[in-house]
Structure 1
């Protein structure tokens, strides 16, 4: 009998999102609904399992953790990229790492939920009306404003298309972005300096790597208009956190919409929980019913294929 651990099932829905019993007859599957942050506690809980399913990068698997899980044979990550798994160490230990497909729309849709929530003060207005208040704020028109898209890949391009539909002026930049690719998506290539200085909304859609870590620093935030907003649904490491804290407290920018954080789940005493002019989402970009069904159905398929001797979607 193979033992399977499904981690970070925060909403308690993984069991109903795929046919675990039918596709994995005889397997013992346990769903963990609470995050295990401490590495020692994580190893103690996972020591009996041959198969582990990780939800995105919620739980890191560095080399030192993998070395303490001698029974582990298959590690499945939802999505086809996971910077929190030490792939070389897994390979050295004979651990197969498989990924899953995903849906592209969720994160780009949440990006626009944050943008619209910021410029129209949706959360503040909701709180105000529930305590007996009424109109106090004035919203920002999007038509004619400038949307700055940092990273024009699969997600950034989707976000850009919506900006064009709102009749915004859309500009884009990334280290490797070409004028031809920008034109393919109907947007204008800008320099990094021009984008941060001229955009009314800057939205980040770059993959986090050692090269892109800290991509948005104090000079970039200081260059933004005091009326501009920063939105990050990509990775927290793209932004200098200390600089962002100063930008918000000293009003270099109008506000920020964030779905990603340096530490997740966000600690109860984290400064962002009380930071002004922020709209916060608990890393929900990929958390949709459709996305979860693809993740978990593919995870079951990965496990079945592995047990059948023919692993699929290996990383």
Structure 2
């Protein structure tokens, strides 16, 4: 007896070769794509046969898709759906993310920011704009080497693990914070050669209540946590004051993980040496936001692009194809969101 077809809807913009890669997983799959730009358009694209949905946006009302059983998100996190009924524990619909797809571009971005900050490259850019050859070049630009410096990684998921791997390759000391430090291994999507799947690189793991100890030790603090109700403003004034005055903060996760008012004070008053920020509590960052007024030699502001890569869709399609195979075989899906922990 022939098994029933499984109808899959992609609301993204996968190129035809990537859609063919998904269809090649099984003849049971009926894959269609309707490129959508918001939740309203996704609602219009859903139909009664849709069983699997690949999307970023999600309408609150899913009545148009009574057979929906699984939503694969086109994002590493699910924080934009925290108040959606699909993330309540009693919802029967599985939700997975593309965690792991972003590890390479964001890991490289973080190391680029570390090098830029410690080598005073923003300062050099300002000199370029001013057409100035400075006096006292040694005093102004002689850096500390990354080798031997300590990086504290808040959140040791796929991105944090790739930051750890790259930092270790530069000879840095790696510390990591996890909500459950006893669980060292990564059971999500891990591309070959990426990250630290067994959790072997950090010299020490810290729990959330020990974060001040990690911060005091670190020359660079990298935020790679998921945003949940429990992690909002995870880094505030006490955490910033615990950091070394020579330390740098790098946030590539979510803006609301940091108390931005306290961060502005920390930068303006010299609690820390500088920061690289790719995410903000409000995006786009408003023109009157005080972060724009911070000395540009000490802060890098980027418009939430750290995860961008020309290979993104290709990697996302690989992950989705593997999860489609698992779904048809009745195996556990990769990157399944724990609805109690909200990530």
TM-score normalised to structure 2 length: 0.66
In the alignment, which of 298, 308, 315 is matched to residue 287 of structure 1? 308
Does the 8 A contact of 1:255 with 1:278 survive in 2? yes
Against the structure 1 CA distance between its residues 178 and 299, is the aligned structure 2 distance closer, same or farther, given a 3 Å change threshold? closer
Against the structure 1 CA distance between its residues 124 and 176, is the aligned structure 2 distance closer, same or farther, given a 3 Å change threshold? same
In the alignment, which of 64, 69, 77 is matched to residue 71 of structure 1? 64
1:140-190 Cα shifts (integer Å, max 9, x gaps): 322232222223343323322333332333333344325988983251346
Match of 2:191 in 1: none
Aligned equivalents of 1:77, 1:120: Cα separation in 2: 37
1:72 positional shift: 5.2
Against the structure 1 CA distance between its residues 224 and 97, is the aligned structure 2 distance closer, same or farther, given a 3 Å change threshold? closer
Does the 8 A contact of 2:256 with 2:281 survive in 1? yes
Aligned equivalents of 1:152, 1:93: Cα separation in 2: 28
In the alignment, which of 30, 33, 40 is matched to residue 35 of structure 2? 30
Does the 8 A contact of 1:147 with 1:170 survive in 2? yes
Aligned equivalents of 1:93, 1:172: Cα separation in 2: 33
Match of 1:193 in 2: 212
1:128 positional shift: 2.6
Does the 8 A contact of 1:101 with 1:295 survive in 2? no
1:76 positional shift: 4.0
Match of 1:49 in 2: 45
Match of 1:261 in 2: 280
Aligned length: 291
Report SS of the residue matched to 1:66. Answer: coil
Matches within 5 A, 1:102-181: 102-103=100-101, 104-135=103-134, 137-138=140-141, 139-178=143-182
Against the structure 1 CA distance between its residues 6 and 296, is the aligned structure 2 distance closer, same or farther, given a 3 Å change threshold? farther
1:298 positional shift: 5.6
Against the structure 1 CA distance between its residues 130 and 18, is the aligned structure 2 distance closer, same or farther, given a 3 Å change threshold? farther
**What stretches of structure 2 of length at least 5 have no aligned partner?**
1-6, 24-28, 186-197, 338-343
1:221 positional shift: 0.4
The Cα RMSD (Å) is: 4.2
In the alignment, which of 79, 85, 89 is matched to residue 83 of structure 1? 79
Aligned equivalents of 1:80, 1:179: Cα separation in 2: 20
Report SS of the residue matched to 1:152. Answer: coil
Does the 8 A contact of 2:155 with 2:225 survive in 1? yes
**What stretches of structure 1 of length at least 5 have no aligned partner?**
8-12, 37-41
Does the 8 A contact of 2:151 with 2:173 survive in 1? yes
Mean Cα displacement is larger for which, 289-298 or 218-227? 289-298
